Amino acid sequence: MNSDRRARAWRGAGRGFVLGAALCAALVCAAPAVAAPWDLPPGSFPSAYDLRAHGKVTPVRSQDEHSTCWIMAAMGSLESCLLPTVSYNLSENNLANHMGSKLTFEGRANSRLSTAYFARWDGPVFERDDPYPRPGSSPEVLLPVRHIQEVLFLPARKGPLDNTAIKWAVTKFGAVDAAMAYQRDSINFATGGAFYTRDTFLDHHVCVAGWNDNYPAWKFLRRPPGNGAFLIKNSWGADWNNGGYFWVSYYDAGIGRELAVFDGAQARTNYDAIYQYDALGWTASIGYGGSRHAWFANRFTCGGTGSVASVSFYTPVPGSSYQVRVAGAVRDIAAAPAAGSGTIAVGGYHTVRLATPVPVTAGQEFVVAVKLTTPGCGHPIPVEHPSALIAPRAAARQSYISYGGTTWTDLATKPGYETSNVCLKAFVNSSGAGDTGAPKAVVGAAQARRGGMAHVPFSFTDPAFSSASAVIYLSVRTAGGRVLKDARMPAVAFAEPRVWRFGCTMGAGTYYVYARAYDVAGNRQSVLSRAVLKVL
């Protein structure tokens, strides 16, 4: 596929997507007045840097005719950050098929959606196990090769020479996933320099793989006000431009507004269980009258005796401070001792270990709560909220919010947030053996009218010790076994009732709903459960 066809395919997909930068802009907070790790003395970074010279970047891939640049950039950043410890070729196809959004392989999303895929332990998986590109075709479940416990969201650049955060991330971790605006007439193919002057919709994702402060301004078709450019690894194949790389001017209007670093890969044996509701990640933030602090909590049913070792959540700005408490019920949070506290230097998705692990008992409920203080930001609570991209499923008695940590509101009772959850996960280690038993999805009988909506209840159970989270496959079939509807539900929480909602287009008659569960420990339900669906 030549570069013209790549550009046309990619730009067409970008025009068809309506969320992108608008969502990110809604979540931007004012920069806090705290020192960031990249606030270093002048001269702390070299004038030029190239990850290729340090063995810290994987080969250029090709997205082919598909609009999967954002997936290529996320995987490219993760692979780079893993080097030189391990060299992985990770599957973009798996993320494209299992992202869990309203997109179906095609279309552009931001790095929060790819973060959600990693954070729920759905991936990453090896390319050899799920090769690209196969739209709509991926194995039902593959165990991730690593657990991703941190993704940094760098602050947007304030100007063309505000580049220390990017330089810090590239030198400390590896390639940075960056959104940009691409126009073919903005790139000088003779030199590989790109410079776009208009502040426009960001419709492409790339990896920042280095920089050159002295990259000449004359190498761009339109001459920028000064020298300097970022080295960019693209995803249009190694035959495009200069081995798949090009340069973007420091003065470009789009580069540096959305930046993510997928740096937090850990062994997949790091925790025995993950308790979660926020399968699709952080899409909104809420708070109390502009206050810089607020509390949020999740209630879980314990699937195995052990200890809460860590929790994870999102922070919108650098320098956010937190306090974690674990209690048996929401009403007990105020009296519970702090199990962990600290300050997080960079915004993003973070997992924090508790200074004091808290015991939990199989069959009993427990609540994890976080007080988050976000300097310069008046909406501290990260929420999985319906958007143009995602349709989360939530229920009462799952997520709670509070201003002072004493009086709590069930988020599902807040108008407009009936199907939202707070973004907060709990990681539990077993007091004995880990999860060795197969989970069981349980699907309930349902009745619907043709042309209306069907509501099929389901949940999963798991013998203790349970790893607490499962992928559930659901399908509607005829008596002869033909599949009419199907769905993949990631990160379903142990013993929590859920509902599969879909448009009922079948004719009147009797059908069957099937379900199968796969837990995050790799155990698989051997026999599908079945219930009757009657269509009137």
DSSP string, 402-443: ESSSSS-EEGGGSTT-TT-EE-EEEEEEESS----SPPEEEE
Report the DSSP beta bridge partners of residue 421. Answer: 384
In a domain, 33, yes or no: no
Q: What is the pLDDT of residue 190?
A: 87
Residue among 271, 219, 192 nearest 435 (CA): 271
pLDDT digits (tens, 9 = 90+) for 124-159: 999 999 999 999 999 999 999 999 999 999 999 999
d(CA 107, CA 257): 20
Q: Looking at the domain assignment, is residue 11 inside a domain?
A: yes
pLDDT at position 482 over 70? yes
35 in a domain, yes or no? no
In this structure, are residues 311 and 351 in contact, taking their beta carbons and an 8 Å threshold? Answer: yes
What was the pLDDT predicted at 7? 40
430 closest CA partner among 489, 376, 365, 357 = 357
Q: Considering the domain boundaries, does residue 326 fall inside one?
A: yes
Whether the pLDDT of residue 239 is over 90: the answer is yes
In this structure, the answer to whether residues 60 and 133 fall within a common structural domain is yes
Task: Please list the residues that pair with 297 across neighbouring strands.
Answer: 369, 400
Structural domain range at position 158? 3-28+44-261
Domain-embedded: residue 390: yes
Q: Of 224, 240, 261, which closes a domain?
A: 261
Residue 382, pLDDT above cutoff 70:
yes
Burial per residue of 163-181, b for 16 or more beta-carbon CB atoms within 10 angstroms, e otherwise: bbbbbbbbbebbbbbbbbb
The answer to whether residue 3 scores a pLDDT higher than 60 is: no
Pick from 227, 261, 295: which residue ends a domain? 261
250-278 tens-digit pLDDT: 999 999 999 999 999 999 999 999 999 99
Predicted confidence (pLDDT) at residue 497 exceeds the cutoff of 70: yes
Q: State whether 389 and 448 are in the same domain.
A: no
- Residue 403 belongs to domain with CATH number: 2.60.120
Q: Can you read off the two tokens belonging to residue 362?
A: 């199989």
The helix/strand/coil state of 116 is helix
Instruction: List the CATH number of the domain containing 448.
Output: 2.60.40.2550
50 shares its domain with 165: yes
Cα 169 to the chain's mean position, in Å? 19
Same domain? For 421 and 450 the reply is no
**Domain identity same for 147 and 173:** yes
Look-up of token digits 């593959």: 142
14 vs 115, residue with greater confidence: 115
Asked if the structure places residue 376 within a domain, the reply is yes
309 in the same domain as 337: yes
pTM of the model: 0.94
Q: Are residues 58 and 198 in the same domain?
A: yes
Q: What CATH number corresponds to the domain at position 58?
A: 3.90.70.10
**Tokens 């069959």 sit at which residue?**
363
- Least Cα distance to 250 among 186, 174, 177, 157 occurs for 157
Going by C-alpha positions, the residue among 112, 80, 114, 109 that lies closest to residue 94 is 114
The distance of Cα 107 from the centroid of its chain, to the nearest Å, equals 16
Half-sphere exposure in the Cβ direction for 155 (13 Å, CA): 25
* Same domain as 324, residue 217: no
Model confidence at 15: pLDDT above 60: no
Residues 360 and 484 in one domain: no
Q: pLDDT tens, 36-90?
A: 999 999 899 999 999 999 999 999 999 999 999 999 999 999 999 999 999 999 9
Please identify, among 196, 230, 261, the residue that sits at the C-terminal boundary of a domain: 261
What pLDDT is attached to residue 30?
58
422 with 287, same domain?
A: yes
Taking the C-alpha atoms of residue 169 and residue 165, their distance in angstroms, rounded to an integer, is 6
Shared domain check, 292 and 209: no
Angle of helix 69-82 relative to helix 111-119, nearest 10 degrees? 50
Q: Same structural domain for residues 293 and 340?
A: yes
Q: Is 136 left (phi over 0), alpha (psi -120 to 50) or beta?
A: left
Number of domains in the chain: 3
Determine, yes or no, domain membership for 302.
Answer: yes
Residue environment code for 452-490, b if the CB has 16+ CB neighbours within 10 A, otherwise e: eebebebbbebebbbbbbbbbbbbbbeeeeeeebeebbb
Per-residue confidence band for 433, with pLDDT thresholds at 50, 70 and 90: confident
In a domain, residue 36? The reply is no
